[in-house]
Amino acid sequence: MEQSLVYLAAALMMGLSAIGAAVGIGMLGGKFVEGAARQPELVPLLRSQFFIVMGLVDAVPMIGVGLGMYLLFAV
C-alpha cells in the first residue's frame, strides 16, 4: 500500500507539472502573438524575450519530472 502511494505521488507530480507547463507556454505564446500583432516592428525583441521566458517556464516542470522519476526509480 505504501509503495503504491509513492507511485501515485510521482505520477501526479509529473502529470500536473506537464499540465502547468502547457498552460504557461500557451498563455505566453498567446501574449507573444498579441504583442506581435500590436507592434510588428518589435517582433525580434519580443521573440528573444519569448524564448528566454519560455525556457524559464519550462525549467520548473522539468524539475518536477526529475523528482517524480527519482520517486519512481530510487525510493
Which of 20, 36, 49, 58 is an active site residue?
58
Closest CA to 49 of 38, 63, 36: 36
**In the annotation, is 9 catalytic?**
no
Q: State how far the Cα of 46 lies from the Cα of 65, in Å rounded to an integer.
A: 29
Answer yes or no: are the C-beta atoms of 7 and 72 closer than 8 Å. Answer: yes
Report the catalytic residues.
58
